[in-house]
Amino acid sequence: MTTAAKKSAKRRKLPWYLRPFKWLLWFLIASVLWVVIYAVVPPPVTFTMLADSSGITKDWTSLSSIDRNMVRAVIAAEDGKFCTHNGFDAEAIEQAIERNAKGKRMRGGSTVSQQTAKNVFLWQGSGWTRYVRKVPEVWFTFLIEKIWGKRRIMEVYLNVAETGIGTYGVEAGAQRYFKHGASKLTPAEAARIAAILPLPKKREAVSPSGFTRRYGNTIQRRIGQVRRDGLDGCIYN
């Protein structure tokens, strides 16, 4: 390389203090493309699945082949305002903070949209890594709300959510627990799957007891409310 070429290359080199902005720009571009691709292509695997030492059992199923009871159960259990919020539920977050501060049963305030963003694009994490994850989680939640829409968010969530040890998605969960597909889930069965979603490795969908049984019964009753109030209208209308 000639002296002139070396000088030209040196001039083109980005100053060190601007490099983080360059990396941020590349991240933003790559993340948008990633979300756009998954708007039409089923996510083949997630970081959570790859980290699961129990293996991966999953079976992608379109939303049209998943019983509506399952969608209603998830809304009843995880996100009653799914159709009306923009990805975040400030009231639920505040209530979760107050509840956890009082030492009651730990409960998160994440919406289905936030959980989907985390499950598909990020990692689960614990301790301080959970707080590090929150920043990109907000960004990916914003993107899927704007690019995917509610129906696609619910479809992806129901296919990547952990439903048991080494089991992902409600189709695989239905086959594991009830020996039939997600298209035939009864309100009781859908409620049981929804009841174990927060802790699928510790809760039992078949013959549940204690809190899981009571919570499942509560979700089953709420399914009717979701139907009557049209809380799943953004998905099917």
Q: What is the DSSP string of the chain?
A: --HHHHHHHHHHSPPGGGHHHHHHHHHHHHHHHHHHHHTTS-----HHHHT-TT--EE----GGGS-HHHHHHHHHHH-TTTTTSSS--HHHHHHHHHHHHTT-S------HHHHHHHHHHS----THHHHHHHHHHHHHHHHHHHHT-HHHHHHHHHHHSEEETTEESHHHHHHHHHSS-GGG--HHHHHHHHHHTTSTTT--SSS--HHHHHHHHHHHHHHHHHHHHTTTHHHH-
* Local mean pLDDT, 10-residue blocks, the chain (237 residues): 54 77 92 98 96 95 97 96 93 74 63 96 80 90 97 98 96 97 97 93 89 95 96 93
Residue 139 lies in a domain: yes
The pLDDT of residue 90: 84
Residue 87 lies in a domain: yes
Residue 21 lies in a domain: no
The pLDDT of residue 180: 97
* CATH number of 113's domain: 1.10.3810.10
Residue 22 lies in a domain: no
Structurally, the chain folds into a number of domains equal to 1
pLDDT tens digits, one per residue of 100-118: 666 655 556 799 999 999 9
Alpha carbon of 199 to those of 46, 101, 106, 227: distances in Å?
Answer: 18, 21, 12, 26
Residue 43 lies in a domain: no
Q: Which amino acid is at 66?
A: I
pTM: 0.88
Residue 131 lies in a domain: yes
179 Cβ contact partners less than 8 Å away, ≥ 6 residues apart: none
Residue 29 lies in a domain: no
Domain of residue 185: give its range: 57-236
The pLDDT of residue 91: 86
The pLDDT of residue 100: 64
The pLDDT of residue 130: 76
- In the three-class reduction of DSSP (H, G, I as helix; E, B as strand; rest coil), residue 162 is classed as strand
The pLDDT of residue 178: 96
The pLDDT of residue 105: 54
The pLDDT of residue 58: 97
Q: Which of 76, 77, 107 is nearest to 93 (CA)?
A: 107
Residue 20 lies in a domain: no
